[in-house]
Structure 1
Amino acid sequence: MRFLFVLLSVACCHVAAEDGSQAWLRYAPVPKASEYHSLPASIVALNNTKTSPVYVAGQELEKGIKGILGKQLGVDGTSKASSSIVVGTAEAYKKAYGEFEEADELEPDGFFLSTEGSTVLIIGQNERGALYGAFEYLSRIAQQKFSPVSYVSNPHAPIRWSNEWNNMDGSIERGYSGPSIFFRNGFVVDNVTRAAEYARLLASIRINGIVINNVNANATLLSERNIEGLGSRLADAMRPYGVQLGISLNFASPKDFGGLSTFDPLDPAVDAWWANITNKIYARVPDMSGYLVKANSEGQPGPLTYNRTLADGANMFARAVKPHGGIVMFRAFVYDNHINESNWKNDRANAAVDFFKDLDGKFDENVVVQIKYGPIDFQVREPASPLFSTLRKTSTSIELQITPEYLGQNCHLVYLAPLWKEILNSDLRADDKPSKVKDIVSGQRFSRPLGGWAGVVNVGTNSSWLGSHLAMSNLYAYGALAWDPSLESEDILGDWIRLTFGFDARVMEVITEMSMKSWPAYENYSGNLGIQTLTDILYTHFGPNPASQDGNGWGQWTRADKFSIGMDRTVKNGTGNAGQYPPEVAARYEEIETTPDNLLLWFHHVNYTQKLKSGKSVIQHFYDAHYEGAATAQTFVPLWESLQGRIDDERYNDVHFRQVFQAGHALVWRDAINQFYHNLSEIPDDHERVGNHPYRIEAEKMSLNGYKPYKVSPFHTASGYTAIVTTTNATVGTASANITFASGTYDLAVNYYDLIGGKAQYSVSVGNRTVGTWTGDLEDKLGHAPSIYLDGHSATRITFRGVKVAKGETVTIVGRPNGIEPAPIDYVSFLPSGIVD
């Protein structure tokens, strides 16, 4: 493996190219390597086989020390040198060296690290723990944390899994980084090198299990060829890193794949079928972690088909895996996606508790109910799910989404650790006692034997793993919090920046500022006051479409009308969702006065004129917040540009592209949401900004040749509700207008629509000077396919800076359609310095 080295200097002028494939395991040389005076002379790996995580730990230490400190240390298993790095299990250490005091403090997967004295000790309770300790030691020296330490580190919870929504054809549901690294054309891939590299990344952040296929599972994974691939390739590739393989199951497999007439979980033939197929899988993957099951949700089959309980279904799988030591993760994401909005009492947020509350204590001991952090679906803000405090006799885990399905799909920077911390620290006050979510999912609060974490990651073949270099902070933070949720978001971020980008103080300052502002900014311009993320829930879950929330059976309703907005989830008047929480919390959410403003519209239906604790009305807060959030997104571009030359060009350019895109798309969000609610409520913005854009020239008002006006749907995703498209897909369009602005230097911005299925070409000129040209090819660059329509997903923006303009000149845009893309244009802006239209 080739390692890439960065010249670390505050005044750097050149850095070597990096593609992000090494993530935080770059092992780049540190500036103060000479100050580490206590590096031992050799590495002792107390292992028996090359497939052991202890063996891998030894190799990783050798590789890392050479890269970070420039020292070549040998690895063996027998050295008695007085100055060594000793890595192994507690049992192996006792056999070789005798007892050590901290042995009794170690829990499964935990480790003891001591850099005091001439010998470095890295002792794991098991082999996986020893590898985690090795990565911890390397992380410390890679961050120049050279001071002597001695401590035991144990995991917060036993289950720390990633969920990968990979499909058998190689596609990935809600994946934004290319095709699957596990499947291709219906089968397990032959080349598992990338899977092994991913297992290494997961091990470095102490993730101990991975479910490799989509929760919307395909039963063909259970074919003999695929079971062989799971065992002989994927599990073997991941085992040396201590990452246990798991799979998602389709509940109807006995009927759809196995040839039975039923998939009734209480039918003895079905039970026997699952026991038989499970035995076959464990014969090939003896250390498989277990199964993940999505049942009776969003059209997936399940036990309710036969009037059986969800516990009946989960326990069927639990019986099958129990002889092998396996776990069943049973998703609590169960709801009817055809509910009737006209019934004021209906509420999707109630579904999890309604389905599971009477089943508490009826699940087998090796079943863990996997609960999404909020009651709906990975929204930008939700309260913690009340199911965490409902299930007292059942092991639970928290499901988080590293791939930000509703939060910008890695085309918008959103650092998620602060969001997760807010949920983890939520105190649900079960039985009027401290009941933080983090203590419930660990098993501590209700004395459960299992518990932990499930993170939906969805890595792909892109070299940056997630499709965005900065998004990798979320994967790193997930591992850090799953191990120790008491860590602070900014501290985790700081570690990740140093390991990923080095020690330049300006780099640290800028990425920290951008990341810590990113979640509040996204919340502000995409939806706030607990209204959820106002994305298009009927299509791609990416761009704005508040109208899509209502009038359908999906239950992500806002109940917005001309006068009011918000879900009434009170007990006295609404859906009763507030009453699903323990009494102390329920009482707080029941009343408007005690509900936090940032959850007001989650729990209450109020007039737009309702006053917040800030003194603003709800509608004015909406207007202001959307302007504030979009304005923050604009600042990310110059902040990132201040790092040019301090970060290698490859990563700098990739991040720069995404920040420019986010800045433009944040304006699309701002205008769409504000215009929608402005039109709906007919309440003016106190600052007269909504619908008032003095620096814009609307495309439909320009002189058109080969272009024609086009009413955009949804209407609020076009300035003035209208764009222009070429008259045919073979006609070159020209749009021109006289410039009435004062002569001077402007940034010229063009809002246009970039559709899938075509790559239109554009040019813009002022007078007889070509200002710029571009191609509508974002589908090749964003990591996901936005839309085949003119809408909030395909709307985007390009800006040409420092354009000299004389009043009276003509601005002309020429659009050449391609495929189904008719070179759509929304407007042109002439922006004075420092102005955002």
Structure 2
Amino acid sequence: SRRIEKGEEANLPSGVILKAEESSSLAKEGYRITRAENKIFIEGKEPAGVLYGVFHLIRLVGCGESIEKLAIEQAPSNPNRMLNHWDNIDGSIERGYAGKSIFFDQENILLNDRTKDYARLCASVGINGVVINNVNVKGAATELITKKYLPQLKRMADIFHGYGIKLFLSLNFAAPMEIGGLTLADPLDQQVIAWWKDAFKEVYEYIPDFGGFLVKADSEGRPGPFTYHRTHAEGANMLAEIIRPYGGIIVWRCFVYNCKQDWRDKLTDRAKAGYDNFMPLDGEFEDNVILQIKNGPMDFQVREPVSPLLGGLKHTNQILEVQVTQEYTGQQRHVCYLIPMWEEVLRFKTYCSEKKDTVADIVSGRTFRQANCGMAGVANVGNDENWTGHDLAAANWYGFGRISWDTTLTAEEIAKEWIQMTFSGDKKVIKNVTDILMNSWPAYEKYTSPLGIGWMVNPGHHYGPNVDGYEYDRWGTYHRADCKGIGVERGPAGTGYTLQYHEPNASMYEKIETCPEELLLFFHYVSYTHKLKSGKTLIQHIYDTHFEGVEDVETMIERWKALEGKIDSEAFERVMKRLDEQLASSKDWCDIVNSYFYRKSGIADAKNRTIY
């Protein structure tokens, strides 16, 4: 972040008075900022609230806002605002694109200056919970809940505590077998329950304010209660009842689906799996269990509909999970500002109730009066000098924190804040970088997978175009393109997925005529000659958008080049290199996708551009 410049110092008061009082009328973690007699007063119910108020004041000054008259009162939109790190204990990061882990190295826990810097950065945008290890808990990571690691984790938790952040760990559901010497991990077995009681007691003896555990169970080969013919609720509740006396929570991921699907099977639909697995259990989970639900029903694609679980579940705590790390959106080699996507998700009307029916209402707890709710983001942080690999990817980390703190903020407001806090208040810098950020997600969508169909990436690492990469695999990730059309029929005549939504959304998605075109191929198989609202055929839309996406990247490069000399030279060059790679990659996407569909359809580009 940049330093406060000399011209901004004149606006500063003679003193800042900090005050934390439990008797305050302020909401939990909320704060009040006022100014009187050239002094600024920042009040909170607890120290964390005061800290957030201090960062608000710093943000005002950093963005050049007046602090002459202050009467600000804020409270967070969401009680839980968490980052999930997919860091492995060997120091690698699953889906990490910014170097190695800042928490682990060769099965050791790292504690250094960056630990404190990281906590401060998170607190500055209101993040109050951090899961430091990968949800796929394997090998030595299973032992993080033992004395082998707890003394070091206590030191980390103490650093986090100073910034209002609770430490969380991902949990291996099979730990009683893998490190406990038991022959099973049945959540209803008394020996298993006793083992977990001892394990949790030890954790809380070392870390009294430990937040709790994130669990990925019965998903993609991970162990879980299904092995013992138990439900997700029985598995989660066993852990929740044990952790309850300590004030901890269990966050249970809903990313559960059949990952051994036969591509020939057109009725089994991965998109339906989350709803089918968890809706029958609504109301069966303890009140200190939170179900963590991805924003869409698939897996963080560049465009997905909102998961029908968000608005389906009415008696269960929910956390919205988004992916800050850019697994399917350019892997921090491409600029892809994701806050506009999350803003759309949060504003989406589910029609689950007459009032307060948006996703933002649901995950804040307002809709169903739930206390344990919020947002979680899969982190994009590593040990690269700039934290996020691509300098502009830091806007996604910053933006996740800001929009989870205040869901009424717009993506553009957040972008402008971040630019001024990071680069400068120069008008051209603000305008050009805002334009780059705000156009980056639409550009990425144009030159990659069209109209919500998703995937089309190289298997395994998920970078770069491969239209049929997952088409005949077991993961349920199909586009079903043939010589006549493309798309997956998910209406009542197909997989029936649309029936999982409340009306009028269900009817809207069921019909090609009313389905939002940006999701058309997600919901329907559509002929290449189908006319879109623009008057273009589907195939011409595919051709045009892919060429346009490349042009959009060229425009980004022009805007960035115009800032040379106005931005730190090292940061400027780092971004320039990434933009050059993005341009080359976008051309690959354009040529490969357009050539694929030209060869499939036999229909030429109406503009006679080069397609191979």
TM-score calculated relative to the size of structure 2: 0.97
Shift of 1:27: 3.2
Counterpart of 1:153?
74
1:35-70 CA distances to partner (integer Å, 9 max, x unpaired)? Answer: x1x612xxxxxxxxxxxxxxxxxxxxxxxxxxxxxx
Q: Give the letter for the 1:546 counterpart.
A: V
Shift of 1:566: 0.5
Q: Distance in 2 between matches of 1:312 and 1:423?
A: 30
SS class of match (2:369): coil
Counterpart of 1:85?
16
Counterpart of 2:218?
296
1:39 aligns with 2:13: yes
Q: Distance in 1 between matches of 2:353 and 2:570?
A: 54
Counterpart of 1:518?
440
Counterpart of 1:198?
118
Counterpart of 2:227?
305
Shift of 1:616: 1.1
Alignment of 1:67-86 (within 5 A): 84-86=15-17
Shift of 1:107: 1.0
Q: Contact 1:401–1:457 (CA<8 Å) still a contact in 2?
A: yes
Shift of 1:635: 1.5
SS class of match (2:202): helix
More deviation, 549-558/393-402 = 549-558
Alignment of 1:742-761 (within 5 A): none
Shift of 1:592: 0.7
Q: Contact 2:356–2:366 (CA<8 Å) still a contact in 1?
A: no
Counterpart of 1:764?
none
Q: Distance in 1 between matches of 2:144 and 2:595?
A: 47
Alignment of 1:515-594 (within 5 A): 515-536=437-458, 538-571=459-492, 573-594=493-514
Shift of 1:647: 1.0
Q: Distance in 2 between matches of 1:567 and 1:384?
A: 17
Counterpart of 1:325?
247
Which blocks of at least 5 consecutive residues in structure 1 are unaligned?
1-22, 41-83, 95-102, 693-837
Counterpart of 1:453?
375
SS class of match (1:210): strand
Match of 1:657 among 577, 580, 584: 577
Alignment of 1:170-185 (within 5 A): 170-185=91-106
Q: Give the letter for the 1:166 counterpart.
A: D
Provide the aligned C-alpha RMSD in A: 1.3
Counterpart of 2:35?
115
TM-score calculated relative to the size of structure 1: 0.71
Structure with greater contact order relative to length (CA < 8 Å, sep ≥ 6): 2
Alignment of 1:448-527 (within 5 A): 448-527=370-449
SS class of match (1:583): coil
More deviation, 473-482/607-616 = 607-616
Counterpart of 1:221?
144
1:499-533 CA distances to partner (integer Å, 9 max, x unpaired)? Answer: 10011111111101111110000000011211114
Q: Distance in 2 between matches of 1:653 and 1:137?
A: 31
More deviation, 336-345/248-257 = 336-345
Match of 1:237 among 159, 163, 171: 159
Match of 2:307 among 382, 385, 396: 385
Q: Distance in 2 between matches of 1:434 and 1:210?
A: 28
Q: Distance in 2 between matches of 1:378 and 1:117?
A: 51
Shift of 1:265: 0.7
Name the one with the larger helix percent.
2
1:409-468 CA distances to partner (integer Å, 9 max, x unpaired)? Answer: 010000111111111101011145551001000111122121001011141111111111
Q: Distance in 1 between matches of 2:463 and 2:399?
A: 23
Q: Distance in 2 between matches of 1:187 and 1:226?
A: 8
SS class of match (2:132): strand
The number of equivalent residue pairs is 608
Shift of 1:115: 2.6
Q: Distance in 2 between matches of 1:566 and 1:28?
A: 52
Match of 1:412 among 334, 337, 345: 334
Match of 1:436 among 339, 358, 361: 358
More deviation, 220-229/177-186 = 220-229
1:210 aligns with 2:141: no
SS class of match (2:469): helix
1:760-784 CA distances to partner (integer Å, 9 max, x unpaired)? Answer: xxxxxxxxxxxxxxxxxxxxxxxxx
Q: Distance in 1 between matches of 2:353 and 2:414?
A: 33
Q: Distance in 2 between matches of 1:522 and 1:117?
A: 51
Q: Distance in 1 between matches of 2:549 and 2:6?
A: 37
Q: Contact 1:112–1:133 (CA<8 Å) still a contact in 2?
A: yes
More deviation, 435-444/610-619 = 610-619
Q: Distance in 2 between matches of 1:227 and 1:560?
A: 52
| Structure 1 pair 433–550 and aligned structure 2 pair: CA distance change class (3 A) | farther
1:734-768 CA distances to partner (integer Å, 9 max, x unpaired)? Answer: xxxxxxxxxxxxxxxxxxxxxxxxxxxxxxxxxxx
Counterpart of 2:5?
29
Q: Distance in 2 between matches of 1:589 and 1:197?
A: 46
Q: Contact 2:478–2:488 (CA<8 Å) still a contact in 1?
A: yes
Shift of 1:192: 3.0
